[in-house]
A = this chain, B = another copy of it.
Amino acid sequence: MTYQQVIRGQIVTPERVIRDGWLAIRDGRIAALGDGPHPDAHDVHDAGQAYIMPGVVDGQTHAGSYGGLPGLEATTRSAVAGGVTTIVDMPYDSPAPLCDLETLDAKVAAVGRFAHCDCALYATLLPGQSVEMIPLLIAGGVAAFKISAFEANPTRFPRIPADMVLDMFNALSGTAVPLGLHNEDQEIVRTTIARMKAEGRDGIASHSPSRPVAAEMASSAHFLELGFNAEAHAHLVHISHARGFDMVAHYKADGGRATGETCVHYLWFDPDEDGPALGARMKVNPPIRPGERERLWAQLLADRIDFVSSDHASWPLSSKETGSIFTAGAGVPGLETLLPAFFTAAAARGLDAPLLAAKYLCERPARFFGLWPRKGSIRIGADADVVVLERKDHKWDSAAAHDGLCWSPYDGAVFTGKVTKVWLRGQLAWDGAEIMNAPGDGQYVRREAAPMPA
């Protein structure tokens, strides 16, 4: 029998690296795995000593916040160039969020037209909308729901009032589907920003104080407690401070379904070190906190972080160059750098970088969103989403990036891992120099019908 494709190298399986390994692809899935001599294939790629990783599942992407649904194209081009073979796209598209079957259908269609990688989808509800939409969206395959405690935009990214949060939790209570929160207390953030503006403090150093840790934590506590009362799954989509994971741990110990995610930028940057050079180019919300980075790594090593994502946002640099941290857009491009940055930072700390990346960037988010075992691991039967990662120093230059944005907070950083080949369901998507697949080669992936946890 002849396989479609064989790839050989150091295969990163969930618990161990197969040194002289190979995997074989048939019908777009991983059909065989082995070491030593490999079977025949129409195409054989020998990656030498490079790692063969599962494709990254980015649990938090904002593809359409800026460019609308067509934004999927550049975003997913950037994804595959960074080893991300599945994005879980946020519902806050421009001009309207994904909140009903029409917008779901439109987005699924856009995936089929624009996407270079596979896409799972977050849904949301708008203020005032009935929670009766929830089971319909679940039937439509959405992976999770997300809402915000902070109004970033009245129609596109509104604040959901507490009564509706509780209604949503009650509607989700009997399901395995999580409700995620953008966790910032609106009243505290707005007032604090107004104060700092009045004081003329509008540089990057004012960003974290203007959205205080307390605002993030109080919003998180309120939300986790509502989810606990409803016996539903409450998820914090970005925790910037170790305290957040302590809180999540309390809820887990009390028997609640609570989880927390951090983003790679919280594990990489520190405003005290990087702020002077980057300014608003490192503005994300919640803010990166001074002095917190190593405490977050400690939480990761204690296995209290559920997974790590990019929170990629496709803002043009112009949106950052506004003269004030408060008018600058929040969010940074991060898909293409997600795996290289996480790998580099883990390796620099003496950790087992390939296994940690496979766990926190691939398997954990895939399980969280109900995509495992189809996505997230190199295992028989899984989609042949495969990444070749070479241990090789390369300085990041966003001019060569694929998101069409031409800027990155990582510019100039030296990464020690480089994505040199990516296959999506067995099809070569990135060859280390060029995007090889076409818009629309990505597919919509549905949350697996998952039984409730016992």
Docked-complex contact B220 and A225, CB < 8 angstroms:
yes
- 1/0 contact string of A364-396 vs chain B (CB within 8 Å): 000000000100000111000000000000000
**Range, interface on chain A:** 35 or more
Q: Which of A98-106, A185-193, A337-345 contacts B (4 or more CB under 8 A)?
A: A185-193
| A243 (CB) vs chain B CBs: closest residue | B229
Tell whether A246 is near chain B: CB-to-CB under 8 Å. yes
Is A15 part of the binding interface, using a Cβ–Cβ cutoff of 8 Å?
Answer: yes
- Which of B18, B21, B166, B225 is close to A221, meaning CB atoms less than 8 Å apart? B225
Tell which of B32, B192, B229 touches A214, judged by Cβ atoms closer than 8 Å.
B229
- Whether B39 lies near A381 (C-beta < 8 A) is no
A132: Cβ under 8 A from any B Cβ: no
Indicate if A161 sits at the interface (CB-CB under 8 A).
yes
CB contacts (< 8 Å) of A26 on chain B: these are 36-37
B225 and A247 form a contact (CB under 8 A)? yes
- With a 10 A CB-CB cut-off, give which of A34, A164, A243 has the most chain B CB atoms: A34
Closest-by-CB residue of B relative to A220 is: B225
Residue of B nearest to A11 (CB): B380
| Shortest distance from the beta carbon of A39 to any chain B beta carbon, whole Å | 6
A118 to B164 Cα, complex, angstroms: 45
CA A225 to CA B161, docked complex, whole Å? 19
Q: How many copies of this kind of chain does the complex include?
A: 4
* Chain B residues with CB below 8 A from A213, complex form: 229
Give chain B residues whose Cβ lies under 8 Å from the Cβ of A18: 380-381
Q: Which residues in chain A, 212-267, are within 8 Å of chain B measured between CB atoms?
A: 212-215, 217-226, 228-230, 243, 246-247, 250, 254
Residues of B contacting A31 with CB < 8 Å? 34-36
Bound-state Cα–Cα, A11 to B37, Å: 22
User: Cβ of A420 < 8 Å from any Cβ of B?
Assistant: no
The answer to whether A39 touches B1, judged by C-beta atoms less than 8 angstroms apart, is yes
Q: Which chain B residues border A33 with CB–CB below 8 Å? A: 32-34, 380
User: A166 vs B211: C-alpha distance in the bound complex, in angstroms?
Assistant: 12
Interface membership of A14, Cβ < 8 A: yes
Residues of B close to A212: CB separation below 8 A: 166, 229
In the bound complex, residues from chain B placing their C-beta under 8 Å from that of A185 are: 162-163, 222
- The distance in angstroms between the C-alpha atoms of A226 and B188, with both chains bound, is 11
Among B11, B37, B161, B380, contact of A1 (Cβ-Cβ < 8 Å): B37
Q: Output the least CB separation between A59 and chain B (Å).
A: 20
Residue numbers in B under 8 Å from A215 (CB-CB): 162, 166
Task: Report yes or no: B254 in contact with A34, Cβ–Cβ below 8 A.
Answer: no
Tell me whether A13 is interfacial, beta carbon within 8 Å.
yes
- Is A16 located at the chain interface by the 8 A CB criterion? yes
B residues less than 8 Å from A11 (CB atoms)? 380
The verdict on A357 contacting chain B, using a C-beta distance below 8 Å, is no
User: Contacts A161-B187, A247-B225: A381 and B218 contacting too (C-beta < 8 A)?
Assistant: no
Report the minimum CB–CB distance from A452 to chain B (whole Å).
15
A24 within 8 A of B: yes
Q: A312 vs B226: C-alpha distance in the bound complex, in angstroms?
A: 29
Interface string of A188-207 (1 = CB under 8 A from B): 10111000000000000000
Residue of B nearest to A188 (CB): B163
* B191 with A161: CB separation less than 8 A: yes
Q: Out of B226, B247, B380, name the residue touching A218 (CB < 8 Å).
A: B226
> What are 25 of the A-B contact pairs (CB < 8 Å)?
A1-B38, A1-B39, A11-B380, A16-B379, A26-B36, A31-B36, A32-B39, A33-B33, A34-B34, A39-B39, A161-B187, A162-B185, A163-B187, A163-B191, A163-B192, A213-B229, A214-B225, A214-B229, A214-B230, A217-B228, A218-B225, A218-B226, A221-B222, A222-B225, A229-B243
Interface residues, chain A, CB within 8 Å of chain B?
A: 1, 11, 13-16, 18-19, 21, 24, 26, 31-39, 161-164, 166, 185-188, 190-192, 212-215, 217-226, 228-230, 243, 246-247, 250, 254, 373, 379-381
Can you name 16 extra interface pairs (CB under 8 A) apart from A19-B381, A26-B37, A31-B34?
Answer: A1-B39, A16-B373, A35-B380, A161-B191, A162-B185, A162-B218, A163-B185, A163-B192, A166-B188, A166-B218, A214-B225, A218-B222, A218-B225, A218-B229, A246-B254, A250-B250
Closest A-B pairs by Cβ, 8 of them: A32-B34, A163-B191, A214-B229, A221-B225, A222-B222, A221-B221, A162-B187, A161-B187
